[in-house]
Every structure is written in C-alpha cells, then in structure tokens.
Structure 1
Amino acid sequence: MKRVMAVDDEFMILRGIPKLIDWAALDLTIVQTEQNPVAALTYLQHEPIDILLSDMNMPEMAGPEFLAAARRLQPNMQIIVLSGYGDFDYVKAGLEQGALNYLRKPIDPDELVKTLQKALRQLAQHDTADQNAQLAHQALTRELVTGRSQAPVDPAAAHLALSLPDNCEWRLLAILNPQQRAALQADLVSQREVAGFFSEGQDVIVLFTGTTMQVRQFLDQLPDSVGPTRRPVVVSPVIKNHAAIADVYQRVRWAINRRYFFAVANGLVILPEQEAGPSVKLPTVDTLKGELRDVPLTGLADWLNARFSQMEQEDASVELTRQIAVVILLAMRALHPSYELTSASFGRINGAATVAELTDVLLTTAASMSQTAQKRYSRNVSEVLGIISQRFKEPLTLGDIAGDLHLSPVYLGQQFKKEVGQTVAQYLNDYRINQAIQLLERTEMDVNEIAHAVGYQTASYFFKTFKKQLNMSPGEYREVALAAPSESGRQA
C-alpha cells in the first residue's frame, strides 16, 4: 500500500479524514497525522511518505515554507493542498511548490478520490521511471565491472560518475544468494557508498566506495547479515584504477565459484591484495593408485571427503579439482585393468557443479568396477565386445559388426544398449580412449601415432575427443601419468 500523511492544525479535520473515504480500496493507508508542521518534518526525515495532505494556514509554520522543506526531504512525494475558502494566496504558493491539486474545506469525498487517483498515477509513472533508471544504471555497472563494454572503460565510468579519487577505496562486494533480494536492492539504492550494483545469476555484485570500516558497517547492516554462520559475502582487495576493475571481478568470480562448488554456505571471504600462486599440484596416477590400493570400497567415501576437504582448505580451483577427480578415476581404473571407463563418467566429472557430485561419480564408478568381474553378457553382446577388442583400429560400425554376426543392426544395437548401458558407437569410442590412455602411459609414441593406432582417422579429432572426456590434453595426461616411476617399474 502507498503511505499517506495528513497535516492540519485542526484536530477535527485530522479525525475526519480517515473516515471520509475507503482508503484501503485505493490501496492507500494513512500512516501518520500531525497538527504541528515542525513535527511533520521530523517524521519525514526518517519515514517514507507517498502522498502528503497538508493545510496551508498553520500557526507554527507558513504553508509555503513547510511544503518547500517537505519537498526537499522527499522529492517524489505527491502533495495535495487543503485550503479554506479565502486562502487563494496560500493555494497559489502551494501549487508553486509542486502541489498536485488543492481541495477546499470541507473536503468533498468524490473530489478527494479523484485527486488521490491522479496522485497514484503520478507515483506509478515515477516508479516506472525510477525502475528504468535503476536497470540502466545496473547495466552500465555490469559493463564496467565485467569489462564487456564496447566503449573504453573511462567514458563508461564517467557516465556512472565514478572518478576513483585518491582519497577513496573502491572494492567489489559479492553477496551470494541473498534471501531478501528486494529488501537488499532497496537498501543498496539508498546507500551513499554504493556506486552501482547488478545481479549475476543468483548473486548481487556491488561496486562499493569507502574505507574498511565502512565496508564492515555496510555488511553489519545488510538485510541478510554476514558472519561465521551466516550469509556468505566475498570482498575484493582495493581497486587501483578503472582498468583493474575487470581483473578484480574475475578474482571475485573465481571465489564465488569455489564457494558454491565446495558447498561453503556461510562466512566472509576477504581476498588478499596479491593473488597467491596455486599451492595444490596435480597428483600422478601412480601416487593415487598407491593411496587407493588399501582403501576398501566401504571407506572410499571418507577418503574422498578428506581429499576434497583438504583441497578446499588449500584454495584449489574448481578446474583443478575436476582434473584431480579425473586422475582419481584413472587411478581406480589402473587397479581394475579389465574395466573400461566410459565417456559418461568423464562427462559427469567435467560437468559437476559441486564436490558432492564429483564424489557421487567416483563412488558409483567404484561400485561398478567391483561388480564388473561378476557381470555376464549374452552370447551376441559378448561377440560384439570381442570384435571391438580385435578390430577397434578399423573404421568399425554397428552395421559391419551386425553383418559379421548375421544379425539385424537394429536388434543387435538394442540388445547391446540394454546389457551394456551404451550404444555400440559410444562403447567403441570409450574403448579407443582407454587404449590411448594405456599407450600414453606405457609407450613413447607421439600423439599422432597414438591417434592412428587406436582407430582415429585424424589426430585433431582424437585430440579434441580426448580433451573433452578427460578435461586435459593427451600431452597433459602423459605428464601426470609419468611424473613418477610407474608401479610396474617398481615391482620389476
């Protein structure tokens, strides 16, 4: 509801106004009545009012002076003047102060309703204009902060009236998934230190000017307060100049992604002045194979949780965490050499939005590995698997295999998918990638030779397929696999 205030030195007028019409039907509520205009100004300093009904002839303060002061306090407020029969000079002065209309006493209810409806239309126009201005300001802020603007950065900043003066500190604040978004945005608009803000998915990015103390005060007053067990906020280091804003924004995004990926639901993240180098290294397949050898299936979840928890504490990036999950998967396969990894497993790792999803992929795969030795296929499917293992280097198709077995391609394809869980084409591609992994680990063949050795017609297609599945290139994988002496070498 829109908020209405009535000011008149006549008590009976103030008492009668609430009973004069059905205010609720107009979506209006009278929140305050005052006989003294000085008291009314005190109220207006702290409380928002949409429509002011005011007498113009009051002993404590002249009407024009009161309206001018009220207008300065709340410029968008709609003013309706109440006047006696002979107060035309006051009426004129009220209109000069931006009054929407004047009503003669005694007030006619129908005329009051019409005037209030006109005031509501004016407020709606102001609200629309304010919303459009806020959206435009948010769009400009987004372009400046993210570096997406086609125009040079400084002109965009100038349009936002941002000069980055030497005596101010500028930062980016990221408020993650605020629960009271509407209240937060209303608060941001009213904050003098907020130069601009915009929504980025479920988060709100704020361009803030102020000292460290002002940042703390701002965070303490947020609708969703921040603390060790409350709403997470990321605070950037001080921004040195316009050109550095986009780089600082990328660091903030990196920190946001980590909070969601590692499911850290609370606390305050203050990014250091200098970005630290990565402290977490990509482990080798042999290293993880050795660690996993003595981990039973029932203890794998605890091992994974401990591993990923340590990575979160050491500030591992999301990308590096996914890569380590791939190496864990390959180490698990090394302990079960008869198991063929699938592109679906790699795809789920590369697309995992959280560590919990990574853990689920690895646990599911480990359970599948333990069951593989007991799995039995039908004669037709077993023959398809045998043909693939012997002829995977050829440009093999389901039609070729079905022809050799004198079976319908449709029937054979359906039977294979039902038992194996993949199409013949998917299985063949995964089989070739698994063979390529072994050649990278056990030989010194270059990537071109390996591509042709496992059945790919071009090295570029092999490279693209391998990187898509493992989230690393063949060369990067070989570095990981051969960074330490192989297990077979130590046993020889």
Structure 2
Amino acid sequence: MYNILIVDDEPLICRGLANLLESSGLNIQNLYTANNGYEALDYLKMETIDLLITDIQMGAMSGIELMQQAKIIKPWVQVIVISAHETFQYAQLAIRLGARDYLIKPINSEQLLNSVRHVLLHMDRPVQDQKELISDLREHFRMDQPIPQRMEVLNRLVTEPFTEDRYAEVIKLEQANDIRLNGPYFAMVKIRLDLDATARGTVIDAKDARLLQYAVLNIVNELLDKEWDHQSFYSSGQEVSIIAQWDEARYGDSSIDKINQLEMIGRSLHFNVHKFLGFQSTVGISQILKGREFLPELHNQVNKAIVWNKEHKDHHVFYFGDFKWGLFTEDPTEEDLAAQNNLIVERAHEYIHSNYAQKGLTLNEVAQKNHVSPNYLSYLFKKNTGINLWEYVIKLRMEESKRLIQNTDLRRYEISEKVGYESPEHFSKIFKKYFGISPSEMKK
C-alpha cells in the first residue's frame, strides 16, 4: 500500500487528480493534497510519502524548490512533475533532480495513471534474502567486468599527485582508456560495503564480493545516469568510487545546491544498496574543488569522511565539510567531537526558537545558519534530543497556537499567521493531528 501526495496551487486540479487516483484501483493507502510547497513539506516531514506529484509553478515555492527540499528530507521519494509549460529547461532540471516523469497540462488521465503505475511497479521490486541473492548472482549474473586497466588508471588519478611532469602521460592514459576529466570542478563520493559475513551467516568469498561490488556499480550508474557527468570505478577492498564533475556553465547554475545534491545522491545510494542487496554501506562525500590536481585531496577527504562511521555507527552518509578539521592540530578525541556536536545542536535550538514562526522556514535554512549539511543536522538533532527537528518546530508552533487560543481573542487565520502557516485550513489539519481536536473545539 502506497501513500501519495498531490501538490498544486489550484484546488480543483488537486481534487480532480485525487479523485482519479482514488477510483483507479491502484494499491493506494492514503492520498494527501496540498496547495503550496510549504504545506507539502509538512506532509513530507510528518507522513510516510512514497510518491510526490507536483505542479512546477506555485508562487512562493516552485515545484523545483519543493523537489529539492523533498529530496533532502527523503531522497528515495519518487516524483512526477506536472506543468502547464513545455519548457525544456524546467524538464531538464526536474529530471536532473530525479523526477520519474514530466507531464504537460491539461493532464491526460490515462497518461497519468500509466506514469503512476510505472513508478509504483518500479518500487515493488522485492528484497531477497542475502543467501538467495548471492546464489542468484552466482548462477545468473554474467558480468562484463569493467576493464581492469581503466580501473587502475582512475585509481592512480585519485591517489598519485598530479604534476606538470606527469601531465602528458596522464592525458595519454585517459585518452587510451576513454576517461574524460575536463572539470574544472570536481567532487568525490565513495561507497564502502559492509560485507562482514560473520554477522550474517553467509559465506562471501572474494568472487562473491566482486559480484556485489559490480551490483553496486550498476546501482550507481542507474541513479546517476546521463544527468551526472561522472566516472565510477572500483576502489580498494569493498569500495566503489565516483568522480563527479561540472563545467563552468553547470557549476554556475545556482538553481541547485551542489552539496545538498551530492548528499541526496549519497543517501539514495545507501538506501538502494540496502534495499536491493540487503547490505549496509557507508558513504563518504568530499567538498567541491576546482582543478584536477585536487583529485588526490578529494580522495583523502572521502576516506576521512567515511572514518566518522566509527563514531556514529547508526549514521551512514558523511560529508567531509560537516567536520571542523581545522579546529584540531591532531585527531580529535571523543570529548572534542561531542563538544562540537553539542554546539551545533545548541545553535540549531537557538535559531529555531527565534524563527519557528517564520513562514517558509526549512531544514535547509537552519542547516545553513549552522554551516552544516541538512543530513548531518537532522541526525545530530534527533540523536541529541530524541526528537526529529521538524517535529520540534511543529511542537513549538502548536504550543504557541494553543496558548493564543486559550488566552486571546485572535481568530483562527490570525493565529495561523502568527505561528508560520500559509493557510488556516492547513494549520487546522496540523493542529487536529497534534492535539486530537480542532482549534475551535479547543476554544470551546
């Protein structure tokens, strides 16, 4: 059973699409509708949403911005975009952010249903038992292994210093192995598989490990596809590395936060490796640097980021820039790390308390003010306080709205405004979900 969220600033369209899906016979548990991006974000933060269907132009927050926020919160959410404009730029941006389809208004009913069926079918792929998975890979999976020489060259590029003396040699090696690293902006992502067989009772020999490593490589290439200019390759042991690159034009496109997008990819990779292969993994993400001579530095950064899994075993995606390496002349102690993390959460608390009533407050904004990624802030906040960051925002909003209802004569729409909601109707839905009664019932 699936939960679907429909977002359009025209209520009639929302209702029409909801009615169409309700009568479709599809395996739908709950259908939610929202009339702007901020309402949609509340549903994404509070409910288990499997599929987001969103209009692209909605006033205060566009469908593109909503997709960006949705993918930060839950990178595995599937998205179908609908638009009144057959604009290549919008379509390209939506697909680059992971939209499964881009439909033009007026919506053809059968076309929408086919698109939804296709997305849900893709999500229905069963997760196998690990022993079954290894057995099936051994029996049926005939690999066209990546060319060993190409893997070797890529590993040399990220581990050996790039000097002027080696320039001609490196270019020749790249051309001979169809490797294109023009940049000039680069980042790295590394996935380290956890194939500890003793914990699972499944014997995984070197050949099976290579099969799984190849399966991860396929997941990487399917997720990144043609929208990402990248090179993916085996690293040492149980690892797969990715070099992402941008030219001046794509890097200069400010419509996408590149680090958030890299983290989105990292979380999606971790999710899909676990979903389809049944194994845990740890993902390290580097900063973005300009110049191919910094590839060894980026490789060093992803390795350092992955090491933090030892300190945070319940967390799996780490961005190098989240850790203040410059504060320490040597490896930080556990006390150093705890103090740094406590300070991040403390500052987030302060910012939320000062700004929870702000319309359009997002996790991304709170993270930016703390100079950390949304992914890491969410993890730290929940670990330190026991409550999800956005649940905490809603708690503050609800407690303040309760106080205003009980102690003032303000109308519902005035209270809604004061605690940061776009519409009184949406405020009432959140209020009833939180307290179990409506604002008017509490007033009585």
Q: TM-score, normalised by structure 1?
A: 0.28
Larger Rg: 1 or 2?
1
Greater relative contact order (CA < 8 Å, ≥ 6 in sequence): 2
TM-score of the pair, normalised by structure 2: 0.31
